[in-house]
């Protein structure tokens, strides 16, 4: 009886160390694998998008006004849609211009 208990304990310990070794080996293999080029390119494109988002209009989103564009404003400065042709604002295309507000 005592001998059987020792065998069961020994088997449990052996199985535990085997599982631990497999998990550790999996971790080492994952860490040593180089990153794929696609992930690196997508990461670089995300960084570029964040850097260029400040000034460029995407769809109908107004860009952020810079310090120089708002330098003469006393209060708030905001980008607004302004018609390209002032004579016919309904049928004209629009662009964004930084406008001072009170």
What are 94's strand-pairing partners? 83
* For the chain, percent of residues with pLDDT exceeding 70: 67
| Helical H segments across the chain, by residue range | 2-32, 37-52
Reported as a pLDDT band with limits 50, 70 and 90, residue 44 is low
DSSP class of 43: H
Tell me the pLDDT of the chain averaged across its residues.
74
Residues 48, 54, 57, 61, Cα dihedral to 10°: 120
**Residue length, the chain?**
102
């Amino acid at each position: 009886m005592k001998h059987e208990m020792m065998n069961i304990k020994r088997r449990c310990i052996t199985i535990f160390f085997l599982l631990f070794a497999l998990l550790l080996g999996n971790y080492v293999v994952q860490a040593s694998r180089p990153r794929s080029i696609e992930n690196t390119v997508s990461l670089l494109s995300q960084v570029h998008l964040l850097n260029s988002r400040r000034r460029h209009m995407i769809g109908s989103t107004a860009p952020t006004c810079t310090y120089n564009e708002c330098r003469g404003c006393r209060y708030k400065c905001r980008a607004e849609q302004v018609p390209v042709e002032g004579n016919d604002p309904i049928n004209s295309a629009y662009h964004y211009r930084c406008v001072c507000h009170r």
